[in-house]
């Protein structure tokens, strides 16, 4: 580790998330919702997070189209 770190260009409270990066988002959902989507993810052979990302992206598209 260097003796000194230059924070002169730093911004307090700013978190950089690179484009295309995955973000860990802890979330609480109802058990029935978790069971439904877990089952769908298993049927499709994908990770639960991948399925939920696709569902949320479709929901965003629908909401944007209705504006």
- Total domains present in the chain: 1
Is there a contact between 55 and 37 (Cβ–Cβ < 8 Å)?
Answer: yes
Question: Does a structural domain hold residue 24?
Answer: no
> What's the pLDDT score for residue 52?
97
Domain encompassing residue 45: 31-65
| Full-model pTM | 0.68
Question: Does a structural domain hold residue 47?
Answer: yes
For 14-66, the pLDDT digits (tens) are 777 788 888 888 899 999 999 999 999 999 999 999 999 999 999 999 999 99
Is residue 17 left, alpha or beta, with left meaning phi > 0 and alpha meaning psi from -120 to 50?
beta
Question: Does a structural domain hold residue 23?
Answer: no
Is there a contact between 55 and 34 (Cβ–Cβ < 8 Å)?
Answer: no
> What's the pLDDT score for residue 32?
98
> What's the pLDDT score for residue 59?
98
Is there a contact between 51 and 44 (Cβ–Cβ < 8 Å)?
Answer: yes
């Amino acid at each position: 580790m260097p003796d000194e770190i230059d924070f002169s260009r730093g911004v307090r409270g700013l978190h950089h998330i690179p484009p295309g990066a995955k973000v860990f988002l802890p979330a609480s959902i109802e058990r029935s919702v978790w069971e439904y989507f877990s089952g769908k993810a298993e049927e499709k052979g994908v990770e639960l997070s991948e399925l939920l990302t696709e569902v949320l992206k479709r929901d965003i598209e629908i909401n944007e189209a209705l504006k």
